[in-house]
Amino acid sequence: MIPPHQSPLDPAANRREFLRRGLQAGAAVALTGGLASLLWNRHPPGDFNREAASALLPDFSDKNAGPKMAIVTGQNRTAMVRRALEAMGGISRFIKRGDRVMLKVNAAFATPAILSATTHPELAAELVRLCLGAGAASVLVTDNPINDPESCFNLTGIGPAVRAAGAELVLPRAAQFAPGTLPGARLIRDWPILHEPFRGITKLIGVAPVKQHNRAGASMTMKNWYGLLGGRRNQFHQDINGIIVELAMLVRPTFVVLDGTASMMANGPTGGSLADLKPTQTLVVSTDGIAADAFGATLLDKTFRDLPYIAGATERGLGTADFASLNPVRAAV
Amino acid sequence: MKITTARRLTQIFFFTLFVWLCLAATVGPLWWQWRGWPIAWFLQLDPLVALGTVLTTHSFHPSLAWALVTIGLTILFGRVFCGFVCPFGALHQFVSWLGRLGGRPKDKMAANTYRPAQVIKYYVLLALLAAAAGNLLLTLVRASRDSTWIALVVAAVAVLALFWLTLRKVIASFRRAVLFGALLVLVWFGAAALLSVERLTLATLQIGWLDPIPLVYRSFNLVVLPATDLAVEKWFPSGRFYTGVGLIGALFVALVLLNLVVPRFFCRILCPLGALLGVIGRGTLWSIGKTGAKCTECALCDVDCEGACNPMGPIRVSECLMCMNCLDNCPSVRPIAYLPRPSSGGEISASGVTRRGFVATLIAGAAAVPLARLDGSTKSDWSPSLIRPPGSVAEEEFLARCLKCGECMRVCPTNVLQPSGFAHGWESVWTPVLNNRIGTSGCQLNCIACGHACPTAAIRPLTLDEKQGAGDFTEHGPVRIGLAYVDRGRCLPWAMERPCIVCEENCPVTPKAIYVSEIESTVRDGTFAIASIDGATVRVSGTPLTPGRFASGDYTCKLPDETRSRRIVANTADSLTLDTAPTAEEPPPPGALLEVQVRLQRPVIDPARCIGCGVCEHECPMTGLRAIRVTADNETRSANRSILLKGSR
Amino acid sequence: MASFSTGRRPSARETAAASGVLVALLAIAAWLWSVQAHFSPAVTVAASAALAAESGRKSVAAPANLIATWPAGLRAMGPMESFSPDTLSDKIDGKAELYLSAGFVAMRCQRITSAAASDAWFEASIYDMGQPENAFSVYSSQKRTATQEAGIGDYGYRAGNQICLVHGQYYLELVAADDREPTLQSAAELARTFIAATAVARHANMAKDEALFPSDGMIAGSVMLLSADVFGFDQLNNTYTARYREGKDDATLFLSRRASPAEAAQLATALCDFFVKDCGGKETVAPTTPRGAVIIDSGGAFDGVFVSGALLGGVHQAASRDAAERWIQRLHARLPTPTP
C-alpha cells in the first residue's frame, strides 16, 4: 500500500515520479513484446509446412579391419560366443574403454528361455560381461516386447541374468519414443522410434535366436530391430518385408550375434513346444546382419531367396546375402 | 465532452460490433455475411487467451498479436479493456444499472464498496494458469537436464521469483531465506532427476470456462442467437441446434442475473481476465487518484464506482475498471482525476491473495490435469465418438489450444459441429465435436470455415488443397477426420434385405469411399405358383400380393428353367408384369413355381478413401441409431489411430 | 449511472481525451471496413465452390497424377493427361473405336521415369471401361502373341517392352521405352501400386461364361471377349472366343449369351446367312447333335453354329466338317441344359 502523501502538487517531484513510472511501463511493454517475438510461431503442430523433428539412430557400424563373420558350432552358448568373438579379433576390437553399449535382445514374448523364442539369458549375460570386461562404461539392455515388458524380461530370464552381470535394464516407456522419418523410407515416416535410451550410446549389439516366422519367413537379427519401433507397429505386418528392409536402413549395429544353438523350425515366432526346435548347434557373430541372416536361413533349411527382405536389403547395399564371400572364420567348441 | 459519455459510446460501439461479428459469422460473401470481418477479433484482443496458449504451447500464435495491444493499453492506462471494450463487461454494467434505477445513493454506495470476495478472481486466474503451465514446467526440466547453463538460469530466475513473491515475506532473516531458496533449488533438481516428470506435468487450456471473451462468444453463438432466431426466423433457415445448450445458457443467464445481487458480480468476483489485467495494470502509468486538492470526503465518488475500488479512500488500483464515474460524480473542483502519478489519497496494490492460498491454488491447478488424465482418455481409452473438425491438431495439443469459444460451431454451415458435453471428459467440455445426427449434413467436402474461424489454430486454417489432398498436398492425401463403418445388423440391404444405397449415393469423395457388393436374393415368401403366362404378364395363384410392392425396379422374377431373372415392372394382387416376355419354346406348366428376387446393393467402405465426413451417417434412413456411423478411427491428426499402412493407401 | 452528475463542465483536457477516444473508434471502424472487403479464404472457397456447383462443373480438382503416391524410385516425367469418349481419338487415333465400342468411360495416362535413371521411362495408360467384362474385352481383343505371365492384376502379361493387365473395370497398358529388366520392373511396380490403391468391386475373371469353354486343347490365354463385329459380322457382339489346337489343326470356339433364346435363335440364323452369303459358304449335312446345329463349308474352312437356350455357340474355321462337328459337340456338352 502506498500511503497518502502530502506534496502532490510539487511539479519537480511529479516529473521525476512520472519519468520513473514511464520507464517502468515502457520496460514492461518492451518485455512483453520481446517475449512475444521470441515465442512467435506461425506453424501449429500437424502443419505440413512445419519442419518435422526427426529422431534417428546414429551409425554404430564397426569400421575396424578384421573378419566380418565367424561361425562356431557347439552346444555351450557362452563358450561359442567367446570363441566367435575371439575369431573376429576379440571383443576389444569392438568395445573400447569408456564405451556405452546398448544390447538389443529379443525379449518379445513372456516365454521361458528353453523355448528359444527369445534371446537366451546366458548368452545375453555373457555379452554383458564381455563388454564390461573390455572396459565399457555401461551396458544397457533393452527391447520393446509384444507382451508386457516387465514380465517378458522376467519370464525369459533375461532381466535377472543381465542385471546380475552388471547391465542396466531399460524397460521402454512411451516418453522414450520419438517420431522419426527415415530418409528414403516408405514406412518409417513420422513413426515412434525408441530414442531416449540411445542418448550417449556409442556401440550397439543385436542378439537374436533363429526362428521361423509365419509372416516374414524367418525372424533373426534383422527382424530383431522391430523391437526398436513403438506405436501401433502391428500394422507393419501388412508389409513385413518392407519394414525389415527399412529397419536395416535405420539400424547399423556394431555387430550382431545370431544364436542357432536351437532353431525354431515351425510355428514361429512364438513357438511354444520343444518339438518346434531343432538342435542346429551353431552360433554366428557378424558385423553384417544381412550375411548373418542369410546364413541363418540355411539352419532353417531355407536359402536367402526364401526371405525377400534379404534381397531387399542387399539391393540397397546394406550388406551381402553371399555370406561365403565374407570368408567366415569357422570353429567348433 | 465528458469522458463518461465517450466511454458509453465506446461500450455501445464495441458491444454492437461484437454482436455484429457473431451475426456475420455465416460463411458467404453477402453484406451481412462473413466476408472478411475479423469475427474472432475480441478473442484475439484477449491477453488471457494469448497467455494461456503461450503457457500450454510455448509458442505465440501470430493471430493473437492483438493481445499485445491490450497489454500495452493496460500498462499505460489501466483496465480500459474492462471499462471501455469488453462486451461482457458492457452487458454487466447495463444490467447492474437497470437493476438499480432509482435506487438510493446510500444503498448504491454499499453495493459498490470493495468486498473481500473480489479476491476470488485471482484464485480463478491462478488455478486456470497453473493447469495450463504443466508443459512449461516440463520444458524447463528437460532444458535444465540438457544444459547446465540453462539449469542455472532457470534456478536463478526461480529463486528470485520465489523470493520476490513470497520468501521476503515468509522469512524475515535474509540468511534463512537464502538457505530456503537453495533448498528449493535442490528439491527442483532432485525432482527432475528422480521423478518421472513427463507424466506428471501435463497442460490443459481450461480458461474458456470463465474467461469472459470466450464465454460471451460461446453464449451468443450457441444460445442467444439461435434463441433469438426462434422469434426472428431470419438467420438460420433450418434452425440451429447445439447439444447441451442448457448448461451454457444457464451459466450465462446466471452470471447476468447475479448483477442484481452484486453489481458487476462477474467482473469483480469471478473474471480471470479482469484479474490478469489487474495484475498487468498494477503499476499503470495513468490511473484514477486524488490530486491533493481539497476533498470534502462526501463519498459521492464511491456511489457509482463500477469496480468497487474505493476511489475516495486509498484506491485499489487493480480493481479500478476505468468507468470514470467518480470524475463525473465529484462535486468539488478536481480533487479526483485521471493522473500519471499515484493517488495522493494512497493506493492499495495488494490483491488480497494470501501466500498459502497462492501456493495451494497453484498446486491444485497443476495437479488437476494429471489427475484428470488418469482416466486414460487421452491415451488408449480415447473416445472414438470424439470426431474433431478437419485440421484439428492432435488431441493433447488440441486441449492445449481450444478456447471453447464456439466460433467453429457458429461458422459451420451445416451445424454438424457441436459443443462436446461431459461424455468425452471434463477437459473436452464445450470443445467442438461432430455430431452427424444434428444439422443439415455432415462435414462438407468444399468447406474450410472452421479452421479459418479458430483464433488459436486448435483447428488449423487449411487450404482446400490441403483438406482434399490435392495440388501440393497430393502426397499427404486428404485430411481424414474419421472412418465410416457399416452396422450390418441395422443396414437395410445387409440385415433386412431391402434395397437402399443412400449412403453410397451421398458419398462426396471421388472415387467414392463407399462401394457396393451386389447380390440377388429371393424375397421372404417369394415363391409363387404360376397360374398362366400371357406375354409379359405372369398370373400367380396363392396369397395375394400387395399391389405395386415389387414395382420399384429392384425386384426380378426368376421363371423356372430360366437362368436369367427378368425385371418386374408392375404387379397387381395376382399378377407380375415383366420387362420382357418369356420366350421359352414351351411355357412352364401351370403350378410351376417362380421366385421373386430382390437385387441388393450392400454398402462396403474403402478405408483408403473414406475421410470420415459423416454425410453418409447423416443421410442414413435408419434415423434412430444410424446403420452407417463414423468414428474417429483413422483420423489424420493422430498417427497412432491410423488403421492402414502408409504405403498401402 | 450519472445520477449524481452535477452538470459540471468538462475541462478542455477531458474533452480532448474523450474526442481522442472517439477518433480511435472511428479509426477502428475504418480499419474494420477495409478488412471486411478482403474475404476470408473460407469465404472465397465457399463462393467458388458455389459457383462451380452452379455451372455444373466438378469443383474437386482432378488429381494431378496418375496415382496419389509414387512408388519409391519413380517420378512423373510429364503431366497427366485425361481423355473422355469424345477426346480419346486425340490420343489413340485409329484404335479408339475398339475402346468406344466396348463401353469406354475414361482414360488417363502419364509418362513416368525412374528417379535413378531418367532414360528409363515408360508410359502408363489406365482405361476405365466401366465394367470388368468391358475391360477384359479390350484386353483380350488386343492381346499380343509371345507373352509371358507377369503375375500382376488379372491376366497380367508381358510382351517385349510392354505390360498389359486388367484390374476390375480398368485395363492397364504400360509401354516402356526399352525392354530392359529394370524399366519393366518399374512399370510393374507402378501397376502394383495402382492395384493396391484402387479397390474394385468385381474382377473380370468372375465372368461365368468364360468357364464354359472345354479346357482340353485350348491354347492357354487365348480366351477373348469380342465386343463388336465378331468375325466381321456386324450383328454379333459380346462374344467369348477361345482358340484350340488338335494335332496340327486349329479352330476357334465361340459362345455368346443373348437376352433370350428367341434372340439367340434369330441371331444363329442370321450368322449362318452371313457365313453363306458374305463368305461364300454352303451348308453341309446337319450334324445329329446338337439339335438344329448347322455346319457351313466356307471353302475348306468349316464354321458350325448352334443354340442352347439363350446361348449362341459354335466353331469358326475348323479344318474339316468332322472336326467342326466334334468341336461343337464338345462345346455343347459343357453347356448347362437349356430351358425345354
pLDDT at B59 > cutoff 80: yes
Check C45 against B606: CB less than 8 A apart: no
Per-residue pLDDT reduced to its tens digit, A229-248: 887 777 787 788 889 999 99
What is the per-residue DSSP string for A251-272? -B-SEEEEEEEEEE-SSTTT--
Number of C-alpha atoms within 13 angstroms, CB side, residue B322? 31
User: In the sheet that C282-283 helps form, which strands lie side by side, from edge to edge?
Assistant: C224-226, C239-246, C249-257, C311-318, C301-308, C294-298, C282-283
Q: What is the pLDDT of residue B646?
A: 58
Q: What is the pLDDT of residue C49?
A: 67
- As a whole number of Å, the end-to-end CA separation of chain B is 69
Helices and strands counted in chain A (H then E)? 9, 12
The tens-digit pLDDT sequence of chain C (340 residues) is 333 444 567 888 889 999 999 999 999 999 999 998 888 888 888 877 665 555 543 434 445 678 877 887 888 877 788 888 877 776 666 567 778 888 888 888 888 887 777 677 788 889 998 888 888 888 887 777 667 888 888 888 887 778 889 888 899 988 877 778 888 888 888 898 888 888 887 776 555 667 788 888 888 778 888 877 788 888 888 888 888 988 888 889 998 888 888 889 899 989 988 888 877 788 887 777 788 888 888 877 888 999 888 889 999 888 888 888 888 888 888 887 765 5
pLDDT at A59 > cutoff 50: yes
> Is there a contact between B187 and B136 (Cβ–Cβ < 8 Å)?
no
| Strand partners for A194 | A177
Average pLDDT over residues A118-125: 93
Check B448 against C49: CB less than 8 A apart: no
The cell for C259 is 437376352
Average pLDDT over residues B388-414: 94
Neighbours of C334 (CB within 10 A): 15
Q: What is the pLDDT of residue C182?
A: 83
For residue B412, CA distances in Å to B21, B403, B433, B617 come to 15, 17, 11, 17
SS3 B83: helix
> Is there a contact between A281 and A147 (Cβ–Cβ < 8 Å)?
no
The rounded mean pLDDT for chain B is: 88
The cell for C177 is 521405352
Distance CA A261, CA A284 (A): 10
Distance CA C225, CA C239 (A): 6
Average pLDDT over residues B109-138: 91
Instruction: State the best of A32, A42, A196, A233 to mutate against chain B, taking most chain B CBs within 10 Å.
Output: A32
Contacts of B56 in chain A (CB under 8 A): none
Number of C-alpha atoms within 13 angstroms, CB side, residue B155? 20
- Find all residues with CB under 8 Å of C205, minimum gap 6, and list them: C136, C154, C155
Structural domains of chain A, with CATH: 69-332 (3.40.50.11440)
Residue from the list B58, B457, B647 with its beta carbon closest to the beta carbon of A39: B58
Contacts of A45 in chain B (CB under 8 A): 393-394, 397
> Is there a contact between B184 and B157 (Cβ–Cβ < 8 Å)?
no
Q: Which of A148-152, B619-623, C110-114 has the highest mean pLDDT?
A: B619-623
A279 in B contact zone (CB under 8 Å): no
* DSSP H or E stretch at residue A247: helix A240-250
Q: Which of B177-181, B328-332, C74-78 has the lowest mean pLDDT?
A: B177-181
Distance CA A256, CA A274 (A): 25
Distance CA B458, CA B404 (A): 10
Q: List chains touching C (3+ CB pairs under 8 A).
A: B
Residue from the list A2, A5, A238 with its beta carbon closest to the beta carbon of B648: A238
Short-list A326, A331, A261, CA closest to A296: A261
Per-residue pLDDT reduced to its tens digit, A222-232: 999 998 988 77
Instruction: State the best of C38, C43, C312 to mutate against chain B, taking most chain B CBs within 10 Å.
Output: C43
- Find all residues with CB under 8 Å of A193, minimum gap 6, and list them: A55, A56, A57, A177, A178, A179, A180, A228, A229, A230, A250
Q: What is the pLDDT of residue C3?
A: 39
Distance CA B33, CA B39 (A): 10
Q: What is the pLDDT of residue C281?
A: 80
Helix ranges restricted to H, B38-100:
41-45, 47-57, 66-77, 80, 87-99
A239 in B contact zone (CB under 8 Å): yes
Q: What is the pLDDT of residue A7?
A: 45
Q: Which of B449-453, B543-547, C307-311 has the highest mean pLDDT?
A: B449-453
What is the per-residue DSSP string for B168-182? HHH---HHHHHHHHH
Residue from the list A2, A17, A41 with its beta carbon closest to the beta carbon of B349: A2
Check B340 against A18: CB less than 8 A apart: yes
Write the ipTM: 0.86
Per-residue pLDDT reduced to its tens digit, B141-173: 777 767 777 777 877 777 777 666 555 555 556
Neighbours of A98 (CB within 10 A): 10
A199 in B contact zone (CB under 8 Å): no
> Is there a contact between C211 and C311 (Cβ–Cβ < 8 Å)?
no
Q: What is the pLDDT of residue C39?
A: 87
- Structure confidence at residue A272 as a pLDDT band (50, 70, 90): low
Backbone angles phi, psi at B242, to 5 degrees: -135, 130
> Is there a contact between B575 and B540 (Cβ–Cβ < 8 Å)?
yes
CA distance B217 to chain C (A): 19
Structural domains of chain C, with CATH: 74-197 (3.40.1000), 209-334 (3.40.1000.20)
> Is there a contact between A267 and A213 (Cβ–Cβ < 8 Å)?
no
pLDDT at A271 > cutoff 80: no
* Per-residue H/E/C for B309-329: CCCCCCECHHHCCCCCHHHHH
Please, which residues 21-40 of chain A have a Cβ atom closer than 8 Å to chain B? Answer: 21-22, 24-25, 28-29, 32-33, 35-40
CA distance B366 to chain C (A): 37
Contacts of A191 in chain B (CB under 8 A): 639
Contacts of B594 in chain C (CB under 8 A): none
SS3 C267: helix
Q: What is the pLDDT of residue B649?
A: 44
The cell for B580 is 420382357
Residue from the list B71, B196, B401 with its beta carbon closest to the beta carbon of A32: B71
